[in-house]
């Protein structure tokens, strides 16, 4: 088993592609058909381009606060590629490419960051839970979904995502412990992008690596090169097999790097070293994966350039459609939580209406 061979307590990291996109050991290469390999790459590329465009739209004042995914595409796309259609995705808020792979429309995802909650409402058959911004809440949600699957006897798993900072939150530990004690089919993926907003990984936890946190709960755990799509695919595939065979959850730490800001409200140049950024730019998951596919003669530079143009046009066209949807009515912000609006919220609604009327004059 990979979780035994690459023991996180021995500081071992699982990698199939080296930093330049070459195979490290042929025996470690997972069985993935060519169609799936290309879909993985194309989705990661679409995610990168849609992400770049979203950042531009926000800077132009056309989109609300946005959380970029640049550099982390492999860490959340490859795990979804390793699942069956009936499995559940429980996202945090930085998994756009993975959601696209699972079948979510880019229009929906842009709509969410445009401030419309309809963008968080996915077709039931996709089995994607809504984006949940509260840190680490996804682990409890995922544990609940996984326990329900076990209770019903369904051969399906839930994959929940959390950031490195989230692994210090209570819900991470509560959810992981619950899944372990109930042997529920849950796969937890920590996207360790090494920054909890501006707090470095070293200041967040004294654990030698975040995968080792699962050992205390009796959960098979593994530290994976999160910028290596083949390694992430293989680790999740093994975890899924273990889960549907009744052997409980797995914890996977995807060691990656956030090449952009935490959100568009953040400025990483204040706290991050340029040399650190340059180091990780050379380990970009899309560059590595592209080289692997070109070596396998599944992709050419010309085809890649064509895809990039296609995805830029698609992203622009999709966002213009979202802009035409207009703004959400003010009442929608207040109306769907309580059966009867509390007094303080009634007062807030009245105040906002008054401000809107004064601005309109």
Q: What is the pLDDT of residues 183-194, one digit of tens each?
A: 999 999 999 999
Whether pLDDT at 360 is above 80: no
3-class DSSP assignment, residue 192: strand
Q: By C-alpha distance, which of 51, 41, 8, 22 is closest to 190?
A: 8
- Residue 358: what pLDDT? 87
Whether pLDDT at 37 is above 90: yes
Q: Which residues are catalytic?
A: 258, 262, 271
Are 23 and 294 in contact, with CB atoms under 8 Å apart? no
Q: What whole-number percentage of the chain has pLDDT above 70?
A: 100
Q: Is 12 left (phi over 0), alpha (psi -120 to 50) or beta?
A: beta
- Residue 47: what pLDDT? 98
Question: In this structure, what are the phi and psi dihedrals at residue 252, rounded to the nearest 5 degrees?
Answer: -120, 120
Q: What whole-number percentage of the chain has pLDDT above 90?
A: 93
Record the pTM: 0.94
> Rounded distance, CA 209 to CA 215, Å?
11
Average pLDDT, the chain: 96
Tell the residue number behind the tokens 């959100």, with chain if given.
Answer: 263
Are 333 and 319 in contact, with CB atoms under 8 Å apart? no
- Residue 330: what pLDDT? 86
Q: What is the pLDDT of residues 118-164, one digit of tens each?
A: 999 999 999 999 998 899 999 999 999 999 999 999 999 999 999 99
Whether pLDDT at 258 is above 80: yes
Q: What is the pLDDT of residues 53-99, one digit of tens each?
A: 999 999 999 999 999 999 999 999 999 999 999 999 999 999 999 99
Q: By C-alpha distance, which of 252, 259, 249 is closest to 280?
A: 259
């Amino acid at each position: 088993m990979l979780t035994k061979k690459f023991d996180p307590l021995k500081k071992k990291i699982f990698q199939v592609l080296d930093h330049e996109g070459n195979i490290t050991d042929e025996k470690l290469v997972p069985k993935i058909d060519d169609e799936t390999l290309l879909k993985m790459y194309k989705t990661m590329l679409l995610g990168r381009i849609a992400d770049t465009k979203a950042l531009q739209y926000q800077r132009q004042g056309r989109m609300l606060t946005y959380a970029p995914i640049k550099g982390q595409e492999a860490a959340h796309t490859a795990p979804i590629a390793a699942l069956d259609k009936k499995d559940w995705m429980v996202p945090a808020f930085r998994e756009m490419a993975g959601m696209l792979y699972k079948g979510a429309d880019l229009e929906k995802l842009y709509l969410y960051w445009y401030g419309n909650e309809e963008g968080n409402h996915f077709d039931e058959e996709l089995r994607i839970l809504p984006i949940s911004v509260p840190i680490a809440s996804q682990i409890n949600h995922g544990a609940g979904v996984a326990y329900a699957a076990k209770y019903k006897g369904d051969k399906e798993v839930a994959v929940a995502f959390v950031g490195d900072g989230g692994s210090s939150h209570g819900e991470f530990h509560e959810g992981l412990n619950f899944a372990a004690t109930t042997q529920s089919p849950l796969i937890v993926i920590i996207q360790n992008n090494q920054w909890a907003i501006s707090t470095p990984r070293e200041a967040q936890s004294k654990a030698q690596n975040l995968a080792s946190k699962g050992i205390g709960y009796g959960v098979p755990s593994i530290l994976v090169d999160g910028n290596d799509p083949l390694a992430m695919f293989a680790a999740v595939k093994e975890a899924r097999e273990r889960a549907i065979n009744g052997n409980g959850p797995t914890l996977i730490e995807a060691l990656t790097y956030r090449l952009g800001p935490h959100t568009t409200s953040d400025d990483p140049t204040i706290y991050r070293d340029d040399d650190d950024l340059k180091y990780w730019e050379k380990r970009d998951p899309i560059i590595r994966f592209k080289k692997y596919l070109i070596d396998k003669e599944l992709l050419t530079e010309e085809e890649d350039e064509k895809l990039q143009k296609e995805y830029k046009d698609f992203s622009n066209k999709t966002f213009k459609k979202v802009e035409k949807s207009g703004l959400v009515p003010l009442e929608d912000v207040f109306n769907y939580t309580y059966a009867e609006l509390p007094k303080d919220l009634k007062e807030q609604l009245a105040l906002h209406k008054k401000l809107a009327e004064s601005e309109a004059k």
